Amino acid sequence: MAVKAAYENYSGPNRDAVENFHGNQLVYLGWDEHMMFPCAGVFPLPPQMPFGAIIKEVVPSAFSLHPDFASIDWGKVEWLLDGKSFNPTLDKSLEDNGVNHKSLIRMITPGLNGINNSGF
């Protein structure tokens, strides 16, 4: 469907086009079963950044306040990219891993499901 407008061929800017982010792209990052962070966070990241840097830099800046964080076994973490399960190659870039502008990465940590397993 299309908007009904007072004139023909109505359109406007896509306010969040990737060109507007000074060489970065937006990436959303959420941690399932950890509602202490009530929603995913949003981060402006260079598309060339290796996926490993997300684990080293971005994930701790977002989630290290949670007591589960120190217990994460990084070999066991499961990832979802835009809703599909996904095996990132750590030394490849976000781009080469298929992480695009406004992609959503979700992190699942089996066995770690929040304070007292409560999902919080």
Alpha carbon of residue 107 to chain centroid? 8
Find the angle CA(106)-CA(14)-CA(4) to the nearest 5 degrees: 115
Minimum gap (Å) between residue 24 Cβ and other proteins: 7
Please say whether the beta carbons of 80 and 105 come within 8 A.
Answer: yes
The yes or no reply on residue 13 touching other proteins (CB under 8 A) is: yes
- Where does residue 107 rank: exposed (0-12), middle (13-18), buried (19+ CB within 10 A)? buried
The yes or no reply on residue 100 touching other proteins (CB under 8 A) is: yes
CA distance 112 to 24: 32
The yes or no reply on residue 70 touching other proteins (CB under 8 A) is: no
Helix (H/G/I), strand (E/B), else coil: 19: helix
Q: Give whichever of 37 and 77 is closer to other proteins, judged by the CB atom.
A: 37
- Binding segment for other proteins among 49-57, 69-77, 89-97, 102-110 (CB under 8 A)? 102-110
The yes or no reply on residue 26 touching other proteins (CB under 8 A) is: yes
Residues in touch with other proteins (CB under 8 A):
1-6, 10-18, 20-22, 24, 26, 28-30, 32-33, 35-44, 61-62, 65, 82-83, 100-104, 106, 113-116, 118-120
